[in-house]
Amino acid sequence: MQSKLYTKLYTVTFSPTGSSKLVAQAITRGLGSETGENFDITLPTERKQHDLLPKKNDMVIFAVPTYAGRLPELAREWLQELKVAPGTPAICVVLYGNREFDDSLIELRDLVVARGYKPIAGAAFIGEHSFSNKKFPVAVGRPHKDDLDLGIKFGRDIAAHFDIDNWVSNAGELQVPGTFPYKDKKPPKADFIAVSDACTSCGTCVTVCPADAIDADNGFAAIVDKCILCCACIKACPENARSVKPGPVMDIAKRLNENCSIPKRPTFYWPE
C-alpha cells in the first residue's frame, strides 16, 4: 500500500495542546506508516525552519487548530512561506472546539494550493476547546479514542482511493465548507490568565508557549499583545497554578458550555 500511495510521508502540525498532532498521527497510521517525518511548527524556534520540500511522489498531512473560525495567525504565516511543491498530494485537517470550524478548512486548503500542493482529502476533527475549564468544560477529552479510530479509518480510506499512478488524473478539486472572503474574526486580546501562589517558577509555561508570550521576569504573566489564547500554558502547568480569570474569555467559555454541549463528530471531504 505505502509504495503505491507515496514515497515519503510528512506531517506538518501546529498543536499547542497536542490535539492536532494526535489526529495527524492517527491518519499516519491509517496510511500505513507508524511514523512520518514531522514538521512541528508550534514553537517559535521550530517555525524558523522552512526546509520542507516534498517531491511529487511524496504526501503531506497538514493539521492545524481553528481559532475563532480561522487558522492561527502564527501557523498561517509559516504556511504562506512554504517552498512551492508542484503537484504534491496533501491532506488538509483542522481541529475545532465543538462549535464550528467556519472558514479554517477552506483557508488551509487555499494556502496549500497556493504553494503548489494538490489536496486529495480534508477533514475537521473535534479537540477540547482551548477555553475549556473545570467550571465550564467544552469538548473535554477530545479527540478521544473513537475520534482517533476515525482518523485511522480516514487514512485507510485515502489509501484505498488514491495511489501514485492515478490520483493526478482522477482527483478533482477538494470541496470543503467555508466562504471566501474568509470571516474577519479574531480572538479578543485580554489579560485573562491568573497565576496563583502554587507557581514554582518551573518555566514549563515558557517552554510550551507558541508565541513567546510568557514574561518570566514578571511572575510568569502572559504578555497580552503576544498571547494567542491557546491556553497551552494553563493546560501544561504541573502545579495547576494557571487559570482563566473572570472576564471575556471565561464568558466565552460559559457560552460554549451552554450552547455547544452536544458532541459533534469528525467530518470528511473528498475531491469532486
At residue 224 the predicted structure's pLDDT band, cuts being 50, 70 and 90, is very high
Element (H, E) at 146: helix 145-161
pLDDT value of position 33: 81
> Is 164 a residue whose pLDDT tops 80?
no
Residue-wise pLDDT for 137-154, tens only, equals 999 999 999 999 999 999
Whether cis (ω within 30° of 0) applies to the bond prior to 143 is yes
Average pLDDT for the chain: 93
Residues 62 and 176 sit within 8 Å (Cβ to Cβ): no
pLDDT value of position 110: 98
pLDDT value of position 169: 56
Q: Is 121 helix (H, G, I), strand (E, B) or coil?
A: strand
Q: Residues of the chain with pLDDT > 70: what percent?
A: 93
Residue with cell 473572570: 246
pLDDT value of position 35: 66
pLDDT value of position 167: 60
At residue 170 the predicted structure's pLDDT band, cuts being 50, 70 and 90, is low
CATH 3.30.70.20 domain range(s) in the chain: 193-246
Q: How far apart are CA 147 and CA 19, in angstroms?
A: 11
First to last CA, the chain: 23
pLDDT value of position 1: 41
pTM for the whole structure: 0.94
Task: Work out the average pLDDT over 170-197.
Answer: 87
> Is 101 exposed, middle or buried, given 0-12, 13-18 or 19+ CB atoms closer than 10 A?
buried
Q: Is 244 helix (H, G, I), strand (E, B) or coil?
A: strand
Q: How far apart are CA 110 and CA 124, in angstroms?
A: 15
For residue 242, the tally of other CB atoms under 10 A from its CB is: 23
The grid coordinates listed for 174 are 477538494
At residue 3 the predicted structure's pLDDT band, cuts being 50, 70 and 90, is very low
> Is 165 a residue whose pLDDT tops 80?
no
pLDDT value of position 241: 98
> Is 228 a residue whose pLDDT tops 80?
yes
The grid coordinates listed for 86 are 508542484
Eight-class DSSP state of 249: H
Q: Is 186 helix (H, G, I), strand (E, B) or coil?
A: coil
CATH number of 2-182+262-269: 3.40.50.360
> Is 176 a residue whose pLDDT tops 90?
yes
Q: Is 265 helix (H, G, I), strand (E, B) or coil?
A: coil
Residues 41 and 73 sit within 8 Å (Cβ to Cβ): no
At a CB cut-off of 8 Å and minimum separation 6, what does 238 contact? 202, 204
CATH 3.40.50.360 domain range(s) in the chain: 2-182+262-269
* Domain 193-246 sits in CATH 3.30.70.20: yes
Furthest-apart CA atoms within the chain: distance in Å: 61
Q: Is 189 helix (H, G, I), strand (E, B) or coil?
A: coil
